[in-house]
Structure 1
């Protein structure tokens, strides 16, 4: 029972030894951090004493090679009407500044450190095809990393808005090609030479977040010819529009609406709704055409097939309203206005063609012979019964031939309501065939485009 009391002093001694060792270690780390901090202060004084950030770092007058790698973060928006691509990017830029290099072993083994971008020289790199006023990349307190070998790494991130020529021919089954051009603002090729990072064939997509409207098909990099001795590189991206939203909200409603345009001519003239239905469909097409026009750039270089399709349907519907008025006028013509023989004959043929002809039930005319007249005078002559052995009737008992019959069919009387009904049926078939043909052509074009 006394062993725990004997071992207690030993445990206390061990704890004191470990606490002393840990305190010495923390003190040593604090001394090292203080040493690194003082070395860093001394290094900054060494580097930036007499340093001028507005002077390009060049010891022998050679150009400064600036290497650029652009990371695409996301596609914010592609405004078809204003033809502007809005994207979020990080422009990773690096170059060698011989005036900001140091011997690592002489400065406390400090390999690199961060420094505000406003206090060192930066290349005057801009987004050439930006639709906004040119401004410096990054911001004053944005940090750059300085390496002991003189390499400077600068990663400004921002949202850029660049111009993009929109081709709306196959909208909304279209693909667009947009570019981002990076160039110097005032420095010529003798001052700054812009080059892509080694092995860089386009935008870096390791941080890219996909868009809900556009699918990124491909991207590429191209070195552009010097313009006024300015070096330029171009990043090109190819985008494909995601179609589900447009199919559900535009294409299918228009197709359903097109099936109702010809139904105006199936309504009876006495229903009183022909003009109202035609105008309703006409206004619906006008609304959809307005929606499409609001999303299109105001240009005449390309014409959208969807806009042409809606315009043709709008024209057919407008023609249907006009013809419905004419048909109603014919339907309500007075009976005093006689129908010409040619009109009646043509109407009768068309009614037969469209299964509208309704002839009156025929009546039978009997040609009465002299024998039949006697029969009608003296009564019906019934044949006498024959005996079993009789093979043929006697001459006096010969059966008279049956009376002859002729049928007179009365032709349908053609009236103005029937003329109007015939025109209704003709226009129904014509409008339906036109809509089906135009729709099939439109869908085939969009299918080929996709």
Structure 2
């Protein structure tokens, strides 16, 4: 099958989508990996969150089990709710990296991170479109698509969905943290978005976000074929389209059938990880006119260089090194934010605690707005996105408060009642 290098809605964006090569899955294969290992993905999440520095291990999951990982429509819906939390879990770390850059410095780096944040919010909406598309309206009438209190991660956190990125031997299991703009933060960002080798076997967990979404793609395809009338029975009025998302550039699409769902997943994975590692090395991949996947944007910041048209994929995307125009990256022009701040850290300072609460109220209001939009009021989405400006203002108030130990306060991204 011919490789698709670029996304349909943005011909200049690199894409990672592995073709579904085997759709003839027999009844014997429908026995889920979950039934053999853990009952639900939420159980996996809970186990990961409780894990210490030792690697989290499961029974081996052969590649063929990815194709039948999702065993039912209920499990598919649960995985999509997990995907919502997965996309959300990346936004606060990226925002901390962005907010801690001092005004006037790291202009290119800030613009790159900001573009990633916007797209991660887009990903949440695309996942919501897929979930709405396969959900019986009668079962959600009058209800919100997700629970804001339950979806907010507690940092540091494992990636939801049983996604365990590879780390060097002897290092603790990967956790997502809230960090200031730094080399450590960029290493974290790159680890989150790093592609896994599509030919490598999955042995116990998903190695990347892309592999998790591949299981969802197979689940959508198989269940849709096996269900009389198909699984796309949702209310089209709950779909978010380009007209509801300012500046989306047509990257957002409504979902009413499998083909549209695959396009949505392609957008999510393509924007995150980039080109499939199976693409031959003689293809020119890069250049100033290409809008890169998140992994490659973070690589540009790490190296302080843009990709050039002569840069190509050397064996795997993780080995693609930018050699183009340099730009300045200052690791010192940064607010020295305390890592993984919590409201409880500020309890001795009532004024500081109140500012943290005010920030979190704006954050919860932002998520409530997105939830309202994907729960039947799509026109509210633009209003919710504009709350981002207030969120930055509240974050800067915290970052300008010293803690007395050389560090400063920072946003905590925790749930509070409004």
TM normalised by structure 2 equals: 0.22
Structure (1 or 2) with the greater strand fraction? 1
Structure with bigger RCO (C-alpha 8 Å, 6+ apart): 2
TM normalised by structure 1 equals: 0.21
Structure (1 or 2) with the greater helix fraction? 2
